[in-house]
Structure 1
Amino acid sequence: MVVTSVLVVSVLSGDESFSDGEEVAVAHTGYLKTGYVGDNLDSVRIGEGKSLRLLARQGRNFWAETLDGSCRGFIAANVVGDQAPSFSLPKRRALSSYFITREKFEALMTDTTSTLGSLQNDYIRAEYLKPQGRKMVGEFGFYVVDSVGRELRPIITFNPDGTVSDYSLEHWRNKRAAGAFLGRLVDYASPLISTREFQSFSPFDNVVTNILWTCLIGYIPMFLLVILLWTRLPLVWAPNWAVNGLLGVLLIAGPATWCALLLVQGVIWWSVVPATVVIVLLGALLFWMLYGGLRCPHCKKLMNHEFKDQQKGLPFERVRRGSREIGRRNEKNYIGGWQYRKIKTGNSYSTQSYRVGRFTDLVTYEDYVETSMVRRITNHFVCPACGHGKEEMKEEILSHEVQIVGRHTAKETYTKEVDHSIG
């Protein structure tokens, strides 16, 4: 729980400061890309010596905008020139994204309080901006997940006052079944699976945190349930069988749901699905082997019963009689006529002939008497909080002896198929 808490806090509390940027005159004529998807693909020519505001670095490009803020997008570093290395700009994450369901996104678009400023402050900033007459067109890093799991990218048109005028949803990534399965859960988990532009820490930055992020986050619901059990009062009236069942469900459903969220995020399935299967099987095995019931059934406090003492009973004798086969001799048999049936061999059928025989065997058995000296042991456990007790009983074998007492014979009649042939 401590490790998962540190990871979650680190992801959610990363640096989100938006740089004021640095004003610079470009060294060479080039193009500022102001749109990327579908019909919104566009760029504006930036002449040599014209000033731009550089907002951040992203790979070999700069995220930049014109001084009046009307155009925003990416421009190649070689256009800016040799002065680029001297800039103290933050690094923008290339896969910046905010995951949102189509229902919630469409509700945002119809909300009269939604503006260019509010969307950038509350969700994610416009990656590309360009003017369209008196209006502005913004292409955002929203990943809009629809009801069949497709991920769409919105292009939003804003009125001069910043309110939403119109929008379109362009295809971004192919359908992912996990998105359709999760539904509105995508909205609740969005802070965990989204990537902010200037997020200082990502669990995918190194191998160790990547593995921990993949394997542990799915157990958060189970950890939270254990904390509730520790506080006692919220679930004091819940019976232990219900709590134990819920723990078992969360043990499987938590990692499986987290796996689906990672798939929606874009993690390759072969890197996360096998890992999830392994941790679910391992968790279920440990739960089965080590779990002995978390709560006292009387006071419902989260503590196991502690061993108090052991009581040994008086030895007693246990006798069991039995017999085992030691020999068999065929006494008589009868083989019937031929019978036929069709069998499938590959893509064709053939006829199999066989006969049924009736056999009588004379079987010799050895009789024995098994004598054991047994002692019952009772372990007593008590709850440290309320003294509620429970017992566990087992048996200890002190001695064991098998004695042969005789033999007997018996006839056994049975039938079986013989003389198989395929024609």
Structure 2
Amino acid sequence: MNKVRIGIVGLGNMGTGHANYLIEGQVKGAELAAVSDIRPERLKLAQEQWGDNVRTFESPEAMFRSGAIDGVLLCTPHYEHPLQAIDAFSCGLHVLVEKPAGVYTRQVREMNEAAAGSGKVYGIMYNQRTNPLYMKLRGLISSGELGEIRRMNWIITNWYRSQSYYNSGGWRATWAGEGGGVLINQDPHQLDLWQWATGLMPTRIRAFCSFGKHRDIEVENDVTAYAEYENGATGVFVTSTHESPGTNRFEISGNRGKIVIEDDKMTFWRLRQPESEFNRTNTNAFAQPECWKFEIPVSGGGAQHMEITQNWTNAILHGTPLIAPGEEGIKGLTLSNAMLLSTWTDGWVDLPIDENLFYDKLQEQIERSANSKR
């Protein structure tokens, strides 16, 4: 194989965006060979725009079995990702799935198992992993420059959404339609980066989710979560969609200082000696470790969605390691599931979570949902 024939399922905003850069030939070694959408008007528009070079299918199942594609990019609603990916793997196709991997970890675990059994390349569209800021942060932490992590705080409240946004689609902000709110719709990238950049997953989480706060919606749109880690570190994650102006500030404190990412800049307050060493040798009651402040240079670049697609293509053609392996999609989803489950049970949730309990609690929400079609 010298070229990957890609099929796209779902021609909404994301699917169309992916299609356009593939049509323009911006991904070396890949071509858009087919698209699928349940809406006839979307397929008609695709035919008008891209002609006979791109085949159209009324169902993903027909496209998977057509022989027209080698891999599929799934850009459908959250609930459909695992089912469609499992079907694609059974047809011998490589899979790249949009985030989030799914709505609940039990289903995503089944998708991961199908991927492992297929031998195909499985990626997830975690395009923020190509952001130079978070790549640099991951490098600083993994190299030991920050020392052992002690505390993490991420305030990400600049997801402002008005009632008009939520009213724009009957499926929006419903348990049956989306399976959640800010955690699964706006925050999947941050939840992934939280564990990916630091290399840490919590041992337990206590969260407080507010549902429909200042908005007429079913799902969570205001969250404060507290996490504990095996090494004694703690973390706080705060997010909302009703605050204006909002904040996006990620602060990580370690034994060798503190790193803050805010306003697309990275600042490192670096201790001249590790705090633990200073504490052990210091004899002055009010002394503090000497600290140097640096603005960390971060190069431009990071082609985001296109870079993830190029990397996935390279993995298929050349065996290149994936930036965002699909199997890792379950990690960020575990964090959001744990936060919701903690709220629903009004208590601590140990990780790994009780997947069956979460599923049962989610079904209770879906049964009461205004968009209860599932």
TM-score range for the pair, normalised by the shorter chain length: under 0.3
Q: Which has the larger strand fraction?
A: 1
> 1 or 2, which has the higher helix percentage?
2
- Greater RCO between the two (CA within 8 Å, min separation 6)? 2
Question: TM-score, with normalisation over the residues of structure 1?
Answer: 0.20
Please say which structure displays the higher CA radius of gyration. 1
